[in-house]
C-alpha cells in the first residue's frame, strides 16, 4: 500500500485565508489517487495520501525564512 506525502506552504491568498481548506486537501488527495491509478494501476482507496501544511516562516533556505528571502530579493524601487 503506497503512502504519499504532499507538503504545501500556508500563505495568504488575497481572501485573508492562510491555510488550505478541507475541500482543497480533498482535491489534492483525489488527484494523487487518480494519478496512482493511471500510472501504477493502484485501485482508488488503496493508498494513503497525507497533506502536510507548514507556514512560510517554517520554510528556510540557508537560514532566512522564505518571507525574509522574498523581501531581500525584491528589487527596490527608487
**In the predicted structure, residue 31 carries a pLDDT above the cut 70:** yes
- State residue 57's pLDDT score: 75
Tell me which of 3.30.429.10, 1.10.8.60, 3.55.50.30, 2.60.40.3880 is the CATH number of domain 3-73.
3.30.429.10
Q: Tell me the average pLDDT across 48-73.
A: 79
Residue 54 and residue 7 in contact, taking contact as beta carbons nearer than 8 Å: yes
Name the grid cell of 27. 482535491
Question: Can you give the pLDDT at residue 54?
Answer: 82
- What ranges do the domains of the chain cover? 3-73
DSSP at 56: G
Amino acid at each position: 500500500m503506497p503512502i504519499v506525502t504532499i507538503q504545501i506552504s500556508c500563505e495568504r491568498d488575497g481572501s485573508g485565508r492562510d491555510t488550505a481548506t478541507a475541500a482543497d486537501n480533498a482535491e489534492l488527495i483525489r488527484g494523487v489517487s487518480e494519478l496512482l491509478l493511471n500510472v501504477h494501476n493502484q485501485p482508488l482507496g488503496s493508498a494513503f495520501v497525507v497533506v502536510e501544511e507548514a507556514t512560510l516562516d517554517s520554510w528556510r533556505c540557508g537560514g532566512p525564512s522564505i518571507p525574509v528571502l522574498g523581501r531581500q530579493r525584491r528589487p527596490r524601487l527608487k
